[in-house]
Chains A and B, each alone.
Chain A
């Protein structure tokens, strides 16, 4: 039978088919973090059950950590307790933790691939909806709730129905100034916030083939913003090259076996999808959001719609009017970071644009590396100095203002151009108004103090 990439990986992990049609699915790796794991460990303690495969669990502290002075004790008592609890749970259960300040610490979806813990053909879960990021390396990766985190700790399995399959094919060459983030925002705007519900998405086409592995992570990362369970991309030579030689990658002796397996991971010609969409890369331009859902995105030089009921509510919150343009709108903050756009290529792109320039005086700009390794690499390349002399605050790794759980919050009523993935009401702080964009568009906004079509300043 012709199989999709998703089916090949899923089926290879089915321990048992249950009577009701759901599958007992084996999970190769679970990532955990401080916010969605404490209740899961408490559940295990109540049941008197140990972690079944501690070596298949990796922990990091990322969601609720300060991005300044990480060497000092965490000031907020509840945050400190959450981190302490993670440390205790990992210690008691033999789970490896890359805690605050550790050289492998960082946002869970940045460190997995970067450390070679995420490898093609795996099933991966985390108590976090952006786990789909790992799909960029050809894995079946998806976000779960805390009850399921507990189940995976206890049994290394999940019980559930197999999602449907969707393929999104993007073909053609992207224009200058158009990034992976713009591609995925374009797709989400077209399909809507629930367009992918119940589906696992495979991204394909020569536009995707031409992307770097990091760009592919940006694409897969935002699958959840159209409601999809996950997103994945067939591994190719770039994927193999990316995985080889990383800290926890298979040792050279096992690499041949790995490569043989990985090169079998593709969708067979003629395999059937439940839904298929096609996009033309040449029609994609830099995108920006105007509302309070990532699906409320439009071309940066476009006009704000506002007819639908939920758009009216969003525009009310954003203090935008239907028919206005975003180009030229004054902004107050710029946040560059997150599991969507906090990797070294993103930092390089921003540094490239702002090198030798100064950001607008009215703007506060934070750049938060996705991981300690990204931070270290950026420093080694001198990006920190370029960014700081342009007026950016170069912070320590964490989720930071992507979700505003630590002190990195955007004040109410202020506009923030964010390279994160969510512009929900209050996401970056109560009343904060978030505008999602690609790193280049965000950097341009930092320089000018208002929304700028980045294509007009690239030479």
Chain B
């Protein structure tokens, strides 16, 4: 997994709550058997009209292409467990998503792919979005300090992150590596527990 420590980047705002993973990447683009190549399908049906032309009003289409931070409404990533959503966001170039809350499975998928889900107060997100409607906004996401700051303003906020997850991201470790070191305990557990035959 790619390491994450500090990120300074321009942002793209998608001002909607409950953005589900079917919108992030529609099912018909889930046929690839690799983890790569999903970037073009990101928000496909919102980015493109039925005739294939770009939908000018969609925020991602107004972006310059070097933004690595997406700002969104609450409950981002609800719905399907498809990790393709996290892969598509990463493939497109995003490294962090700022939102008031995330759906549980998406949050885990994001963390497993070096994509940082940053939970911030709803008012803070609102302020960023309002500011972004007027001017280009650059943010600093500092995982070490657990803090987000908006450049050129006094806006800053801390965000919660699990200590273990933080260590994984800072070092580029994933869970699987750690879990594989515990195989013996797992095997012993499996053999010793009751109700072997029925569960």
Contacts and interface: CB of A to CB of B under 8 A. Distances in A.
Interface of A: 12, 15-16, 18-20, 22, 24, 26, 28, 35-36, 38-39, 42-43, 47, 49, 52-53, 63-64, 76, 78-79, 81-82, 85, 119, 121-122, 127-129, 143-148, 150-151, 154-157, 159-161, 163, 193-194, 197-198, 224, 227, 229, 250, 254, 257-258, 261, 293, 309-310, 313, 403-405, 409, 412, 422, 424-427, 430-431
Contacts of B195: 121, 257-258, 261
B131 interface: no
Contacts of B75: 193-194, 197, 227
Contact of B86 (A18, A145, A293): A145
B17 A143 contact: no
B7 interface: no
A355 to B, nearest CB: 34
B108 A145 contact: yes
Contacts of A76: 31
In which size bucket is the chain B interface? 35 or more
B80 A426 contact: no
Nearest to B30: A35
Nearest to A29: B199
Nearest to B46: A425
Nearest to B34: A39
Given A24-B179, A145-B105, A145-B112, A430 B83 contact: no
Nearest to B187: A52
A157 B186 contact: yes
Contact of A129 (B81, B113, B183, B199): B81
Contacts of A78: 31-32
Given A193-B18, A426-B45, A79 B31 contact: yes
A336 B193 CA distance: 42
B190 A143 contact: no
A98 B148 CA distance: 48
Which of A19, A49, A52, A197 has the most CB atoms of chain B within a 10 A radius of its CB? A197
B130 to A, nearest CB: 14
B95 interface: no
A197 to B, nearest CB: 6
25 contacts: A15-B185, A18-B164, A35-B31, A36-B82, A36-B83, A64-B30, A145-B86, A146-B83, A146-B109, A148-B108, A160-B108, A194-B78, A198-B104, A227-B75, A227-B78, A250-B198, A310-B16, A405-B27, A422-B20, A424-B23, A425-B22, A426-B26, A426-B45, A427-B22, A430-B45
Interface string B54-92: 000000000000000000001100111111001000000
A36 to B, nearest CB: 7
Given A20-B164, A79-B31, A422-B22, A155 B183 contact: yes
A157 B188 CA distance: 13
Contact of B50 (A16, A81, A293, A430): A430
Contact of B23 (A144, A404, A425): A425
